Chain A
């Protein structure tokens, strides 16, 4: 692994020695599209730091499709409840963007947290950012049009994945935005006709990020990750 390169923003923000110590203890894994990392009310076995992958946090709802409440990529980590003293996950964590991540067993991570106050502070700060994201997503889903939400979601995904192209099914997008599949199809069709994106055979490519930003609601600016800020 190239340690000079920023692989995960949360880890990279740590002081160099802390960072290297952690890196040496993390196990590289490849997350596959559709993998479920956590299930609601089940034990968290590993924490994950995505380096080139993206994971969606979904809240289950009886009788409805589950709803995305957060997105995690290279800016953050999965397994936040552990740092808050809770060993089970409240959400389903579903791999949306296949790719690389680093992981560590929960018990070992708790040991690192105890030993490393800087890591604990960084995780707390990230947890707060995630709460901001959950709040903003709720507000956005409530009040904004599907097209603006779709544009926001595509940009958030690009930033967290670090890629302009990713795999996606329209059913999944329905879950992400909490709307019916047909509404997603219509909105995606509009963006495609405007040549902002290309959608074909389950792959989405962002063609014009600037124009997409103009379509997205202002929520995107609030949940932008630092490295993606202009």
Chain B
């Protein structure tokens, strides 16, 4: 499967590059330098954006999609270590100078994004400035998310992990519905499917979510937040602190386009 490139064609107005918060936070000049190189791509569910062990040619800026970073062990066991949506970028090995990546990046919620050739990104990154600053701060936020996922996996119950996962996903989507099978969630959390079924059943019985045929609708976000472990707040606070403010970049994005 390949990301479908639609360079040269117009993306709907609702899916402009500035729907990605990092791109939206770039000042005019840096943004203009990248713009001709940005390719609008469809990111269908399950698409491997970066394969583990491989080197990558592109860096991806999701707009309305979510990409899951999964660690994969030699024996095939895997689980999610972080999610990336319109606040971030997939493929940080490119600018951090990592040779290969041990984790896979797979589309977890279908949508679109923009991609950029590695050498173009590298050149702009090396030039320093706002782009470098944004990408490095994003890297620090991502490290925090990874460490917190490690803690959550180790210490918290499946139900709490599921709440965390749902909230992190919701924050990266515009609606309150996720297209997701229980099997996929089990893979993300690295637990048995039965564990997810049980946890999801409890949340449904309590009226927090509705689950039907691969669609999860969050009915009561406040209650989900009350039930989640501290991990969600730790990650969210760190992202809010380190990354460009969504409201600010939206205003700036409109002013510049």
A143 / chain B contacts, CB cutoff of 8 Å:
73, 75, 77, 79, 190
Interface of A toward B, CB cutoff 8 Å:
57, 59, 61-62, 64, 67, 69-70, 80-81, 83-86, 90-91, 117, 121, 124-125, 127-132, 134-143, 178, 217-219, 222
Size category of the B interface is 35 or more
Contact digits for B109-151, partner A, Cβ 8 Å, 1 yes 0 no: 0000000000000000010000001001101101110111111
Task: Verify A61–B139 contact, CB threshold 8 A.
Answer: no
**Pair count A-B, CB < 8 A:** 118
Pick from A85, A117, A135, A178: contact of B102, CB below 8 A: A135
A218 CA to B93 CA, complexed, in Å: 22
7 additional contacts (CB under 8 A) given A131-B142, A136-B102, A143-B190 = A67-B150, A67-B155, A84-B137, A90-B143, A91-B147, A135-B69, A217-B74
B97 at the interface (CB under 8 A from A): yes
Interface of B toward A, CB cutoff 8 Å:
69, 71-75, 77-79, 81, 92-93, 95-98, 101-103, 126, 133, 136-137, 139-140, 142-144, 146-151, 153-155, 190, 230, 238, 242
- Interface of A: prevailing SS: helix
Pick from B74, B103, B155: contact of A135, CB below 8 A: B103
Q: Tell me the nearest residue of chain A to B97, going by C-beta.
A: A125
A137 CA to B133 CA, complexed, in Å: 28
Task: Verify A124–B150 contact, CB threshold 8 A.
Answer: no
Task: Verify B238–A90 contact, CB threshold 8 A.
Answer: yes
Task: Verify A139–B155 contact, CB threshold 8 A.
Answer: no
* 19 A-B contacts (beta carbon < 8 Å): A61-B230, A67-B151, A69-B147, A84-B137, A84-B140, A85-B137, A85-B140, A86-B140, A90-B140, A90-B238, A124-B136, A127-B143, A135-B69, A135-B103, A138-B150, A141-B153, A142-B190, A143-B77, A218-B74
